[in-house]
A and B are shown apart, each in its own frame.
Chain A
Amino acid sequence: MNHADVGGREGYGAIISETESKLFHASWERMALAITLAMGATGTWTIDESRSVRERLPDYHSLSYYQLWIKGLIALLIQHGLVAEDEVAAGRMLHTARSVKRVLRAADVPAVLAKGSPTLRPANSTARFAVGARVKTLAAAVDHHTRLPAYARGKVGRIAAVYGPHVFADAQAQGLGEQPQWLYNVVFTARELWGEEGDETSTVSIDAWESYLAD
């Protein structure tokens, strides 16, 4: 169950605005950000896997953002055997450490952030759809991590941009490797998505991998 897929759903209350300088609401949030990024940099899991874990947390909607990160991080640490539950409870090491691919050193932080993790891959096929083509998105829900939001399933749109082959989030989240696919920007009218409730002149676009789309 993906608890994070909220687009178009009702009942979440008011939007609470914030000033630009307000980055954190408690000092532990800074640490949550830092240890999550540092553990991500070990290369033990992918960003898609971490999203998949967070969105399936049963108490997703009762957790703040950085609480989600911490709970997701602990789940990943345990799944990958880096930390055991009794260590989380004890707050200290009780078992031998596993080796990790990399440890992010302070001196390397600027270069690692500046490089990022590009998902664009070389093309070894041609794009199936061209800009302007009419496409229909998959109608069926899937039982794994996906980046096709529920509100955009089974809808007719048109290709607005072709972004090249990118690492396929659905595959990578399941530990199945990168399996790159052509990625498109697909635009829908608000009326197509929301019927009469949709704004007459507004449009909504998603980025969709090729296997999300049919003629």
Chain B
Amino acid sequence: MAQDHDHDDEHSELSDMELHVRALRTVLEQKGYIDPAALDVLIDTYETKIGPRNGARVVAKAWTDAAFRKWLFSDATAAIASLGYHGRQGEMIVALENTGLVHNLVVCTLCSCYPWPVLGLPPTWYKSAPYRARAVKDPRGVLADFGVQLPESVSIRVWDSTSEVRYLVIPQRPDGTEHLTVEQLADLVTRDSMIGTGLVK
């Protein structure tokens, strides 16, 4: 199992970094390069508006709407934009179809490229060297760390996000979910299942 993150200095006294970043912000404000109100809107956007629930709605629609699914796999950028998700760090999106034969796994070995309009900000592990180093060489080992065991018959396709193209994994719809609404289906879709490191609930 991957370890849980138990370190949190959110409520500690002001750290050196806190003071350093505040000082930098002050300089940028005094020089007129940034609008303080814009900073609040940026933070609020990624804390409350743009996150993995967007992607979950894309997946749930792909599970329930055959025409949308077809569109998604031919032009994901347009299909996803039709739901209102587009823009920064998702200017061109490709949807990856998990099947009984192929499991897709997304990484950015060179930095932290991630489809922000549908998944929001990347988790720390996605941005960190251990995942970036191992995902391309030992994807089965990485999946095992996340508690995912795939049969040997399932091949893994790892997508290293080395350009501005962004990748979104569309996991398989679980059996026995025919009675669920689109909203209930979206609740099954985890962030990690859309990166490829996890499965749906």
Interface residues, chain A, with chain B CB atoms under 8 Å away: 4-10, 12-18, 20, 22-28, 30-35, 37-39, 42, 51, 54-55, 61, 65, 67, 70, 73-74, 82-83, 87-88, 90-93, 97-98, 100, 103-106, 108-110, 112-120, 147-149, 151-152, 161, 163, 166-167, 169, 183, 185, 187, 190, 193-194, 197-199, 201-209
Q: Does B164 make an interface contact (CB < 8 A)?
A: yes
Contacts of A98 in B (CB 8 A): 31
A178 nearest CB across to chain B (Å): 12
Contact between A67 and B27, CB atoms less than 8 A apart: no
Known pairs A16-B125, A31-B22, A70-B20; A151 contacts B43 (CB<8 A)? no
C-alpha gap A25/B124 in the complex (Å): 9
Binds A, one of B57-65, B153-161, B174-182: B153-161
Contact between A114 and B156, CB atoms less than 8 A apart: no
Q: Does B34 make an interface contact (CB < 8 A)?
A: yes
B81 nearest CB across to chain A (Å): 9
Contact between B163 and A207, CB atoms less than 8 A apart: yes
Question: Can you add 5 more A-B contacts, CB < 8 Å, to A61-B129, A113-B87, A166-B163?
Answer: A12-B133, A20-B191, A70-B17, A116-B91, A201-B155
Contacts of A73 in B (CB 8 A): 24
Contact between B10 and A15, CB atoms less than 8 A apart: no
Q: List 21 A-B contacts (CB under 8 A).
A: A6-B132, A8-B109, A12-B128, A12-B130, A15-B134, A16-B3, A22-B5, A24-B10, A25-B9, A28-B15, A31-B43, A35-B21, A35-B34, A61-B129, A67-B17, A82-B33, A83-B31, A91-B23, A98-B31, A114-B86, A193-B137
Considering only residues 144-177 of chain B, those with a C-beta below 8 Å from chain A are 145-146, 152, 154-165
CB-based nearest A residue for B18: A28
A60 nearest CB across to chain B (Å): 9
Q: Does B32 make an interface contact (CB < 8 A)?
A: yes
Contact between A7 and B92, CB atoms less than 8 A apart: no
Contacts of A87 in B (CB 8 A): 27
Q: Does B66 make an interface contact (CB < 8 A)?
A: no
Contact between A97 and B158, CB atoms less than 8 A apart: no
Q: Does B67 make an interface contact (CB < 8 A)?
A: no
Question: Which secondary structure dominates where chain B touches chain A?
Answer: mixed
Contacts of B33 in A (CB 8 A): 38-39, 42, 82, 97, 100, 103
Known pairs A14-B3, A31-B22; A113 contacts B34 (CB<8 A)? no
Considering only residues 1-51 of chain B, those with a C-beta below 8 Å from chain A are 1-5, 7-10, 15, 17-18, 20-28, 30-35, 37-43, 45-47, 50-51
Contact between A33 and B158, CB atoms less than 8 A apart: no
C-alpha gap A108/B94 in the complex (Å): 27
CB-based nearest B residue for A163: B165
Task: Give 1 or 0 for each of B109-151: 1 = CB within 8 Å of chain A CB.
Answer: 1111000000011011101111111111111101001100000
A15 nearest CB across to chain B (Å): 5
Known pairs A28-B18, A55-B111, A88-B24; A6 contacts B157 (CB<8 A)? no
Contact between B38 and A109, CB atoms less than 8 A apart: yes
Determine which of B124, B137, B157 lies in contact with A205 in the assembled complex, contact meaning CB atoms within 8 Å: B157
Contacts of B89 in A (CB 8 A): 116
Contacts of A83 in B (CB 8 A): 27-28, 31
C-alpha gap A208/B162 in the complex (Å): 7
Q: Does B52 make an interface contact (CB < 8 A)?
A: yes
Contact between A207 and B137, CB atoms less than 8 A apart: no
